[in-house]
Amino acid sequence: MINQETKISSWIKIKKVIDELGDYFFPSFSGNISVREGGLVFCTPTSIRKKLLDVEKISVVDLDNNLIDGNKQTSEINLHLEIYRNFDGVNCVVHTHPLFCCIFSCTKKKIELSLLPEYYLKIKKIVYVKYMTPGTKELGLEVVKKVKKELGNVKEAVVLMRNHGLVVFSDNVDRCVDLSFSCEEIAKINYLLKNFSKPQRIPPHLLHIIENLYKK
């Protein structure tokens, strides 16, 4: 039996992501959101537009992907579950398909973060993961492997999956929304700067200064 208060609380968090990111990040039926509450994961179901969801349609699964309540879970649930299984303190995973991040995902290029201090400080590093079939456990394992290799045992990360899209995870919903917006904005700036032969980056020694200021 699912605790109704927990279900409603989880739905409020999911709806916050849907409302704040909107159709731009979740075109058509794409993208998925999950929040973890103890040993249960509350996630968006498969094949339903995000704006048509309500608390009764939200899928509830355990960490072994057994459907406990609600509609059939998203096909990308394996990605979410592998992140939850491998990173302590992660309570939210958001997978989206914003335009400029998707453009970069379809190339071998990387998004330059050191163009503006705000984005460099917020994201610091984007982890890039090679294309693997969406919805598979193998994709989830590859994301976990790359994040651990490049960032360690963290509680938040920004990942660009090649030929697929963006996934961010954190210990809270607000941070996931902020990271998603920030990654798309800096991707857009990168893309528009392609018309300039040599974009100006912040020198490395000055990046260290703003890092120290931020820590204070």
Distance CA(134)–CA(140), nearest Å, equals 9
Give long-range contacts, CB 8 A cutoff, 24+ apart: 83-89. 83/140, 83/143, 83/144, 83/169, 84/34, 84/36, 84/41, 86/144, 86/148, 87/144, 87/147, 87/153, 87/154, 87/155, 87/169, 88/153, 88/155, 89/155, 89/171
Please report, as a single letter, which amino acid is at residue 93: V
Q: In the annotation, is 76 catalytic?
A: yes
- Cβ atoms within 10 Å, residue 117: 17
Which residue out of 76, 82, 142, 156 is catalytically annotated? Answer: 76
**Which active-site residues does the annotation give?**
76
